[in-house]
């Protein structure tokens, strides 16, 4: 997992989302608020983190993996079969 800065603290966590409950907005281009970091945690299945920056590579995350999302980083998610995951936010 890439890492969070030392000075940030968790302040909010989404419910666990599955392929059936994933908010459609997470599957489209979006970003966190200014100054807010996210940590995507995959509990089951596979999720692909897709940065929208030019030449950025997609990152496939499997059960047990986490990925740090930087503030203002445009991205979307792709689901690979049965999935459960959540996002925790830090500032």
Q: Could you state, in order of their start, the residue ranges of all structural domains in the chain?
A: 10-90
- Residue range 61-90: mean pLDDT, rounded: 97
Note the pLDDT tens digit of each residue in 23-63. 999 999 999 999 999 999 999 999 999 999 988 999 999 99
Cα–Cα nearest to 86, from 27, 26, 32, 43: 43
Cα–Cα nearest to 26, from 70, 90, 85, 91: 85
Pair type for strands 10-13 and 66-69: unpaired
- Residue range 71-80: mean pLDDT, rounded: 96
For the domain spanning 10-90, the CATH number is 2.60.120.10
Tokens for 53? 């920056």
User: Structure pTM?
Assistant: 0.94
């Amino acid at each position: 997992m890439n890492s969070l800065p030392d000075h940030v603290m968790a302040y909010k966590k989404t419910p666990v989302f599955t392929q059936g409950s994933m908010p459609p907005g997470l599957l489209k281009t979006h970003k966190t608020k200014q100054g807010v970091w996210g940590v995507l945690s995959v509990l089951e299945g596979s999720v692909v983190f897709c940065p929208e920056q030019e030449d950025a590579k997609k990152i496939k995350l499997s059960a047990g993996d986490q990925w740090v999302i930087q503030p203002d980083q445009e991205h979307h998610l792709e689901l690979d079969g049965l999935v459960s995951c959540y996002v925790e936010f830090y500032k």
